[in-house]
Amino acid sequence: MTEDKPRLFSAQLRDDLYRKRVLVLDGPLDDDNGTVLMTQMLSLAADSDEDIALWIHSPGGSVPAMLAIRDVMRLVPGDVSTLALGLACSAGQFLLSSGAPGKRRALPHARILMHQGSSGIAGSAVEVEVQADDLRYTRDTVLGLIAEDTGQDINRIFTDSLHDRWFTAAQAREYGFIDAVVDRFGQIGPTHKRQFGISA
């Protein structure tokens, strides 16, 4: 019998970063951690209109969660900067390129993956048809937003996303996923120290 390895990225570490207005997507994006990121973003925005940072190290995950997070990123009054730490795949790539223009970055050896994802369609013929229509709508929505965020033509985005396409940090900058490759700490270092329960 094997025991689950304890997570080293503890709640305390997350809270320390949260107080500095830094949120982290580590691992797959699902409905649970997606909701956490959305509510944290909204909470920080209610506290101040200063920038919020979203750091990403993720193999991808839930499409509804990533679309909802993007909606919140556009809704909050301050900018949401994004940073690819090591891996930003699929939903991770989408959130990375959804950051505020001029504030999307990647570490030098980060890898970014764009693809359309899997469908998971099953059921009766009628159910398959309905699912296929919904899948096409979602695909077109996602690819349209990627085109908007990168400045690429929608037809190129569609073609490039048909199969897994990997990008280095430099290639991601050229393609439009990010604006810069990090070369100094000052570009990403959290500086805000949020105070709780303390009045001036």
Residue 100 covered by a domain = yes
Q: Which residue has the higher pLDDT, 14 or 119?
A: 14
In the DSSP assignment, the letter for residue 31 is: H
Residue 80 covered by a domain = yes
Residue 174 covered by a domain = yes
**pLDDT score at 187:** 86
Other beta carbons within 10 Å of 142: 21
CB 167 within 8 A of CB 111: yes
For 55-106, write each residue's pLDDT tens digit.
999 999 999 999 999 999 999 999 999 999 999 999 999 999 999 999 999 9
DSSP, collapsed to helix, strand or coil, labels residue 137 as: helix
C-alpha dihedral, 120 to 175 to 65 to 162, nearest 10°: -10
DSSP string, 1-20: --PPPPPSS-HHHHHHHHTT
| Residue 115 annotated as catalytic | yes
Which candidate in 90, 97, 98, 161 is catalytic?
90
**pLDDT score at 134:** 81
**pLDDT score at 116:** 80
What is the torsional sign of CA 148, 165, 81, 9?
positive
| Residue 57 annotated as catalytic | no
Checking if the pLDDT of 119 tops 80, the result is no
For the chain, how many structural domains are there in total? Answer: 1
Residue 198 covered by a domain = no
* Cα separation, 60 vs 199, whole angstroms: 40
CATH of the domain at 171: 3.90.226.10
pTM, entire model: 0.86
Helix and strand numbers (H, E) in the chain are: 7, 7
Residue 71 covered by a domain = yes
Checking if the pLDDT of 122 tops 50, the result is no
User: Can you give the residue range of the structural domain that contains 78?
Assistant: 11-115+163-187
Residue 72 covered by a domain = yes
Q: Out of 94-103, 122-131, 148-157, which region has the weakest mean confidence (pLDDT)?
A: 122-131
**pLDDT score at 189:** 72
Residue 169 covered by a domain = yes
DSSP, collapsed to helix, strand or coil, labels residue 197 as: coil
Tokens standing for 140? 């077109």
Residue 46 covered by a domain = yes
Q: Out of 45-59, 92-106, 111-125, which region has the weakest mean confidence (pLDDT)?
A: 111-125
* Cα separation, 78 vs 68, whole angstroms: 17
What is the torsional sign of CA 164, 88, 185, 102?
positive
